[in-house]
Structure 1
């Protein structure tokens, strides 16, 4: 029994010792975990303190068209200057300031690395130093390598920038780790790239410029590429797959993010600013896949440059589609009609205001056959107005007979009233396409003509102390001249002419609407590009000249009247012969 008792006591003692060891191990591990977290927090605190104590240095890369400044803190691009362009200076009232497409870190991008122990590296907090700079003597390509140490251990991180020679507006960028993978064993196989771009205002009219500022992106779908965009007026965000590139487009310039490979998972957000120094804030976050225990490398390109159609086409990525030439067939009219004429006349090296006037003359000459038919129709309608009045009076009670008699008169005279409507409808797309053409042509930006400071913005001869709805707070002289020319042309083309409907009471008086148009246009285009007002003013002056030329030299009203009378006599004789034949048959 004693031996048994001894065995039970040994077993109980062993269990108690084991229980004490388990409890001791648990508390010891918990203390170690707390110690690790405390140590991690101390490391992060010491890293931030170390960064604050360091001086932020800047390093430059430049060619003939670009100058970029790179910050040592975060390794990102601090400033981008376009050397061949100027920004609008409100004090001098013309484009005189250096054009900073990026300024004071208005563009920020950072990578986020996270390991299993909860340690996080945000590259915007790392301190980068220049590790290598080289210039290729043959190609002129410059390469700058910025290197940052791993703040938690061994390894380092490289930011590699390359800039092309002469007139290249794109900048190459690569991020590459060295001996980071053994340390960063990830729960998720990938890293996050975050962008934030505050788009700067560069033009005279901030509100007008903001209406042209928008986020465009290209997506791949079934071996086809499509260019889409976010709203230009309200805050909008999207999750998008299959991204080829993302463009933050302003009125005349753009920042384009061009990844080396198609991105599968991208979140984009665009937010409007109603006032202030910035137009919009654009954010996008990209998840980049990577393999465990392998070094991380990711490459893309930045485009910082003008929205020039011919220049963007050279990249062969569809960048030219972000230039807002209009929708549908309006876009084709601008690209393959107006732009071709404009570029041809641009070779004359004349003042751009003169080029617009010459362009208007060329377009009006091309459309002259349509204009001539309209004037001829208007002149004949005016001559046969007494005949129409007689028919209206004769068949006052019978609408059907009145309609048939008037159509017969048109047939006898040899005109088709619908042809005037068709020619007018043909010119409407041309009229509206110009609203998208002139505000998007970068070659007109900052170009002056007479009193006009910038042909892509409104001209102002008087600043009003108040705001008029639809009109604005300034007086545009070109818009006034255009409205006056339109009023004169309307008066000439409708001189003494009543509505040519079958009955004056059938429809409202169209003359009132026609005379209202100059006032409507005065309100509507007062804040539009002055080049548009110059074009329309010149166009109406040409219309007035055409009116007198066709009326005095091309159309002989006496011959037209004789022709009408001859056709009436022929018709009477024809009817008389028919009646005679009927009477003979009856006899």
Structure 2
């Protein structure tokens, strides 16, 4: 650069780049006249009801808060007042983000969604009942009315749907109530919540049924017969639609979106409402939005609606319904700690079952006294199991022992254990109830966890350590050892008795802490009972009684019991069968 030469101004970076101006898209303004023509084409005579301003209407009672929208005259959201999510946030069982209800009717212009119309809203008080009335009036005497009624308490919302003077406007065909929802995740354990979420339903012919809960594949069922109710059921809550008369037919569907951790499953329930019911004032229905609490569901006026709570197979179900639940509910009226209630429940059941436990122990003690003679029989006959069994039966007959007498008391107690296995995982009473180190007795207690997937362990045991389950396993092993001090079981069966508790530790690690705690306390009480009974049992006296029975048998020849007669007949039949095969 020479002295006195002026620098040429250098273009900046923005000036160096060529600038392209992209024309902005402007929204096409549709004249009102064209809009009206479009609405007329889509809605026909109902075109004037297809535009308007959506307004919210809120109605609530002691238990729920329901928000309605004047667009569609439908439920927009439902808040359960007494429950929170696992994140301690308000629990909305239904909201417009995850649920949509359509009312599909046939009209002159084709299928019409009545939930896209705009309704006039009115709130009324009828005694203690709140009524929200949505009315879409075409002209005097021609209207669609939707009336919702909410009692002062409870989880039911009565719903009346009525067509007045719509016969010439809507075709005389069933109206389809189409409900689609993404069941929201409101519990800590996503996996367990998913495999307990499904669509339940009740048909007039077949009764209660449901889609496969545990499947990750899309599920679908067409119901060609009349239906009383459908329910979108989660682990502890459900949203149901109930007919006072019947739905004509319907379809239910479910599928899992594995990538969506905010929802459990996508659920669908589509049912048809008879047109004549809607024109004659018989279009009466109910919504249920609430907990899967057995006593609450029992009060719902719908057949078998309480089956939204799974309580086990028929016999197990009866034990839970008429013994476990009433006792549990009785104690919770004056005891606020559910861990304490579980302890009391264990002691109560153990006291009731004590005579069976005592009888089982005495039977094992008798077998222990006879063990030397049984071992001698086995040694004398070697591998000839038929002779071993025959001589054992003869020995039992001489001393007056029924070898099954020790098994029967145990078998009679098994239904109680199975009842608890079904009660605790489905008991909403335990939801978010803490005890000791467990924050929530309705899910597993985890004192530590890890994110790394460990091959062979994560898929069978899980990525967490449940202390209650571990302690339950230790107590089961201890109880097994105590029982084996009396039992005559030897060989592989004895080894299995120690292996099974470890297997169950893997199975129950992700089960509710309340269940593991129940089994833990039950094991500890059983161990205490065994030592108490042992203190009152004298093996020398048992041996003396058996010897006395042996003498009586030798003197009188003994009278065979019916059970022994049947055993001998079975053994003789077996011998004949073996002889025929040898020939």
What TM bracket, shorter-length normalisation?
0.7 to 0.9
- The CA distance in 2 between the partners of 1:293 and 1:373, in whole Å, is 65
Question: In 2 relative to 1, CA 238–310 (structure 1 residues): closer, same or farther, beyond 3 Å?
Answer: same
TM-score by length of 1: 0.79
- The CA distance in 2 between the partners of 1:245 and 1:293, in whole Å, is 17
Q: 2:253 aligns with which of 251, 269, 279?
A: 269
The Cα offsets for residues 496-555 of structure 1, whole Å up to 9 and x where unpaired, read as 86636xxxxxxx521110010110110011111111111110111011111111112x20
Kept after mapping to 2: 8 A contact 1:86/1:99: yes
Partner of 1:79: 77
- The CA distance in 2 between the partners of 1:297 and 1:549, in whole Å, is 66
Q: 1:415 aligns with which of 377, 401, 404?
A: 401
Partner of 1:233: 214
- SS, match of residue 394 in structure 2: helix
**Which piece of structure 1 moves more, 521-530 or 98-107?**
98-107
Kept after mapping to 2: 8 A contact 1:219/1:226: yes
Partner of 1:256: 240
Q: CA deviation at 1:400?
A: 4.8
Q: CA deviation at 1:120?
A: 5.2
Kept after mapping to 1: 8 A contact 2:202/2:208: yes
Q: CA deviation at 1:356?
A: 0.6
Q: 2:187 aligns with which of 203, 210, 218?
A: 203
Partner of 2:14: none
Partner of 1:473: 463
Q: 2:131 aligns with which of 109, 134, 143?
A: 143
Question: In 2 relative to 1, CA 267–499 (structure 1 residues): closer, same or farther, beyond 3 Å?
Answer: closer
Partner of 1:124: 115
TM-score by length of 2: 0.80
- The CA distance in 2 between the partners of 1:391 and 1:293, in whole Å, is 81
| 2:151 is aligned with 1:164 | yes
Kept after mapping to 1: 8 A contact 2:228/2:245: yes
Q: CA RMSD in A?
A: 3.4
Partner of 1:517: 500
Kept after mapping to 2: 8 A contact 1:73/1:127: yes
The Cα offsets for residues 20-51 of structure 1, whole Å up to 9 and x where unpaired, read as xxxxxxxxxxxxxxxx9998546468999999
Kept after mapping to 2: 8 A contact 1:75/1:124: yes
Partner of 2:513: 530
Kept after mapping to 2: 8 A contact 1:255/1:302: yes
Kept after mapping to 2: 8 A contact 1:290/1:296: no
Q: CA deviation at 1:106?
A: 2.7
The Cα offsets for residues 127-148 of structure 1, whole Å up to 9 and x where unpaired, read as 3342x22113xx2111122344
Partner of 1:539: 522
The Cα offsets for residues 336-377 of structure 1, whole Å up to 9 and x where unpaired, read as 222232223223324111111110111111111221122112
Q: CA deviation at 1:431?
A: 1.9
- The CA distance in 2 between the partners of 1:61 and 1:397, in whole Å, is 79
Kept after mapping to 2: 8 A contact 1:189/1:292: no
- The CA distance in 2 between the partners of 1:486 and 1:323, in whole Å, is 29
Question: In 2 relative to 1, CA 37–422 (structure 1 residues): closer, same or farther, beyond 3 Å?
Answer: farther
Gapped regions of structure 2 (runs ≥ 5): 1-32, 558-583
Kept after mapping to 2: 8 A contact 1:78/1:106: no
- The CA distance in 2 between the partners of 1:113 and 1:316, in whole Å, is 27
Question: In 2 relative to 1, CA 432–470 (structure 1 residues): closer, same or farther, beyond 3 Å?
Answer: farther
- The CA distance in 2 between the partners of 1:249 and 1:177, in whole Å, is 31
Q: CA deviation at 1:453?
A: 1.3
Kept after mapping to 2: 8 A contact 1:464/1:475: no
Kept after mapping to 1: 8 A contact 2:49/2:119: no
Kept after mapping to 2: 8 A contact 1:181/1:296: no
- The CA distance in 2 between the partners of 1:548 and 1:39, in whole Å, is 88
Question: In 2 relative to 1, CA 66–39 (structure 1 residues): closer, same or farther, beyond 3 Å?
Answer: closer
Q: 1:247 aligns with which of 209, 231, 251?
A: 231
Question: In 2 relative to 1, CA 396–266 (structure 1 residues): closer, same or farther, beyond 3 Å?
Answer: closer
The Cα offsets for residues 242-289 of structure 1, whole Å up to 9 and x where unpaired, read as 111112222222111112321223222233344422222232333344
| 2:92 is aligned with 1:100 | yes
| 2:289 is aligned with 1:301 | no
Gapped regions of structure 1 (runs ≥ 5): 1-35, 90-95, 501-507, 576-587
| 2:547 is aligned with 1:561 | no
Q: CA deviation at 1:294?
A: 6.8
Partner of 1:446: 432
Kept after mapping to 2: 8 A contact 1:193/1:286: yes
**Which piece of structure 1 moves more, 355-364 or 205-214?**
205-214
- SS, match of residue 418 in structure 1: coil
- The CA distance in 2 between the partners of 1:329 and 1:375, in whole Å, is 26
Q: CA deviation at 1:301?
A: 1.6
Question: In 2 relative to 1, CA 276–129 (structure 1 residues): closer, same or farther, beyond 3 Å?
Answer: farther
Q: 2:473 aligns with which of 471, 483, 502?
A: 483
- The CA distance in 1 between the partners of 2:164 and 2:391, in whole Å, is 92
Kept after mapping to 2: 8 A contact 1:82/1:305: yes
Kept after mapping to 2: 8 A contact 1:148/1:156: yes
- The CA distance in 2 between the partners of 1:264 and 1:46, in whole Å, is 26
Q: How many aligned positions are there?
A: 515
Kept after mapping to 1: 8 A contact 2:54/2:69: yes
The Cα offsets for residues 133-172 of structure 1, whole Å up to 9 and x where unpaired, read as 2113xx211112234465x99955433222111x221112
